[in-house]
Amino acid sequence: MKGPHAPRVAMLSVHTSPLEQPGTGDAGGMNVYVLELARALAARGTRVEIFTRATSSEQPDTVVLDGRDAEGRPLRGEPARALLLADEVPAGTVPPVLVHHVPAGPFEALDKNDLPAVLCSMAAGVLRSEAARLPGWYDVVHSHYWLSGQVGLLAAHRWDVPLVHTSHTLALVKNAALAPGDRPEPPARVVGEEDVVRAADALVASTGDEARELVELYGADPHRVHVVEPGVDLDRFTPGDRRAAREAVGLPADRPVVLFAGRVQALKAPDVLVRALGVLADGPGPRPLLVVLGGPSGSSTAVRELTALAATLGVGDDVLVRPPADRERLPLWFRAADVVAMPSRSESFGLVAAEAQACGVPVVAAAVGGLRSIVEDGVSGRLVRGHDPHRWAAALQEVLDDDALRARLAAGARPAAERFGWDAAADQVLKVYAVAREGAGRR
């Protein structure tokens, strides 16, 4: 039913599609966030349409996801369209989530830093969408990342609806934690973020730290900042048999395994793990295998540079690089690991840490951003201050060498992850929508 608890939402994810494989290019935790949040909202009767920039001429204009009638049968074609346009969503029915691919600029070979040049074209494509709907169709615009926020400003103004914005990452935070030699975010992004923060009716932060950063660094009105912790698919990411998982993904059964899952880029700092491996190689005990599950991001040579570093440090045979795993196989990789490592220099949340813990695997993570909220130091994993390879080597060795400690951390991992769920996140986001709509109605 259309109303404060079931708004029709135009969700914007301009620079990366929620349908893309996380772990390479610009696809990561945000892609999972957008898709899983949309699905959880739809399960509550909310009609969600996601708009993203088309990156291939072969992409369909619209992808229809997950709709079900009251008997649980999939909704496609005309039944799905009829439900989307109905005044009310019948009880027991789940409306489909639509993902629209909007042509804006060249399909391929467009770097994220070049996307501001096509935002006007993207905005025009989004605004045209209401021509296929009833007047006043959308109730809320929810933008993800600052580029989407720029488009969202125009759409929300044109449709006279509130803008809710989730930043996911902030330029000023990233620039304060750059890796040596890494390229800072450009000033234009900072200005763009400031515009969105100033104009949005509500800002959704993943953690209290991010909320504080929005207020202190960007001057956000604290009354418009709402903390909503992202969720984890607790049905998919579950504990399982390590030996069976290793057999399924092709890892040795009797060797300590450290897993890094994410984009290979300076921000995620997998080089810290390679350097830590070099430190461990000079010590006693079995040499662990570092599995890097991800692809290059920011630089097409990132993976080659990482493997070259491993070879230079004499641990080339101890580093195994594999492409990103899809959502079906990713839990197997987590279960196969003795420990999952996240040495990120900045993380607004750190979804991989929550997913790994949901699989009952300890996480050794940098004590930054959202990772401090997910990983309970000494309970579900270890938090490491700084990025010194010797400190990381010591933290990894402690967990790998102490069977009793590792078992205790593994036992605490799943309960730590159960604090996060998409159902709870969707409920809280709906409350944010209601507050934003009420505030916009008083303007």
The CATH number that applies at residue 305 is: 3.40.50.2000
Mean pLDDT value across residues 277-302: 88
The H helix count followed by the E strand count for the chain is 16, 14
User: Do 395 and 425 belong to one domain?
Assistant: no
% the chain with pLDDT above 90: 76
Indicate whether 237 belongs to any domain.
no
pLDDT at position 102 over 70? yes
Mean pLDDT value across residues 369-382: 96
81 vs 100: CA distance, rounded Å:
14
Indicate whether 177 belongs to any domain.
yes
For the chain, give the mean pLDDT.
Answer: 91
61 vs 100: CA distance, rounded Å:
6
pLDDT at position 354 over 90? yes
Does the annotation list 335 as a binding residue? yes
204 vs 410: CA distance, rounded Å:
31
Say what the pLDDT of residue 1 is.
Answer: 34
Does the annotation list 397 as a binding residue? no
Does the annotation list 268 as a binding residue? yes
Does the annotation list 28 as a binding residue? yes
Does the annotation list 27 as a binding residue? yes
Indicate whether 332 belongs to any domain.
yes
Indicate whether 3 belongs to any domain.
no
Does the annotation list 175 as a binding residue? no
User: Do 364 and 437 belong to one domain?
Assistant: no
18 vs 86: CA distance, rounded Å:
26
In sequence order, the β-bridge partners of residue 340 are: 259, 363
238 vs 91: CA distance, rounded Å:
31
Torsional sign, CA 37, 43, 46, 47: positive
Torsional sign, CA 354, 355, 356, 362: positive
Say what the pLDDT of residue 22 is.
Answer: 81
Does the annotation list 30 as a binding residue? yes
Indicate whether 94 belongs to any domain.
yes
Does the annotation list 22 as a binding residue? yes
Say what the pLDDT of residue 441 is.
Answer: 56
Mean pLDDT value across residues 137-156: 96
Domains in the chain: how many in total?
2
Torsional sign, CA 328, 334, 337, 340: positive
Indicate whether 259 belongs to any domain.
yes
Confidence tier at 442 by pLDDT (50, 70, 90): low
pLDDT digits (tens, 9 = 90+) for 8-25: 999 999 998 999 988 777
The CB-side HSE value for 398 (13 A sphere, CA atoms) comes to: 17
Does the annotation list 15 as a binding residue? yes
User: Do 210 and 339 belong to one domain?
Assistant: no
Does the annotation list 113 as a binding residue? no
Indicate whether 31 belongs to any domain.
yes
Indicate whether 2 belongs to any domain.
no
% the chain with pLDDT above 70: 97
Does the annotation list 216 as a binding residue? no
Confidence tier at 93 by pLDDT (50, 70, 90): confident
User: Do 142 and 55 belong to one domain?
Assistant: yes
Lowest-confidence segment of 39-48, 101-110, 259-268, 303-312 by average pLDDT: 101-110
pLDDT digits (tens, 9 = 90+) for 21-78: 887 778 788 999 999 999 999 999 999 999 999 998 889 999 988 888 788 888 777 7
Strands (DSSP E) found in 113-236: 140-144, 163-166, 202-205, 225-227
Does the annotation list 394 as a binding residue? no
Q: What's the domain range around 188?
A: 8-231+421-441
Query: How does DSSP classify residue 380?
Result: T
User: Do 307 and 211 belong to one domain?
Assistant: no
391's tokens: 């400190």
User: Do 182 and 320 belong to one domain?
Assistant: no
Does the annotation list 31 as a binding residue? yes
pLDDT at position 2 over 50? no
Does the annotation list 433 as a binding residue? no
Each residue of 295-305: b (16+ CB within 10 Å) or e? bbbbeeebbee
Helix (H), strand (E) at residue 230: none
12's tokens: 């914007």
Does the annotation list 21 as a binding residue? yes
Q: Which residue has the higher pLDDT, 193 or 178?
A: 193
Does the annotation list 233 as a binding residue? no
User: Do 26 and 132 belong to one domain?
Assistant: yes
**pTM of structure:** 0.92
User: Do 200 and 327 belong to one domain?
Assistant: no
User: Do 193 and 263 belong to one domain?
Assistant: no
Say what the pLDDT of residue 86 is.
Answer: 74
282 vs 137: CA distance, rounded Å:
64
Confidence tier at 226 by pLDDT (50, 70, 90): very high
Confidence tier at 276 by pLDDT (50, 70, 90): very high
User: Do 428 and 411 belong to one domain?
Assistant: no
Does the annotation list 169 as a binding residue? yes
Does the annotation list 125 as a binding residue? no
Does the annotation list 342 as a binding residue? no
Mean pLDDT value across residues 178-193: 92
Lowest-confidence segment of 49-53, 99-103, 135-139, 217-221 by average pLDDT: 135-139
Does the annotation list 16 as a binding residue? no
Helices 29-42 and 351-358: crossing angle in degrees, nearest 10, is: 70
User: Do 188 and 276 belong to one domain?
Assistant: no
CB within 8 A of 76, min separation 6: which ones?
64, 67, 96
User: Do 330 and 385 belong to one domain?
Assistant: yes
Say what the pLDDT of residue 109 is.
Answer: 67
Which residue type, as a one-letter code, is found at position 201? D
> What string of DSSP letters covers 396-425?
HHHHHH-HHHHHHHHHHHHHHHTT--HHHH
Torsional sign, CA 310, 315, 316, 318: negative
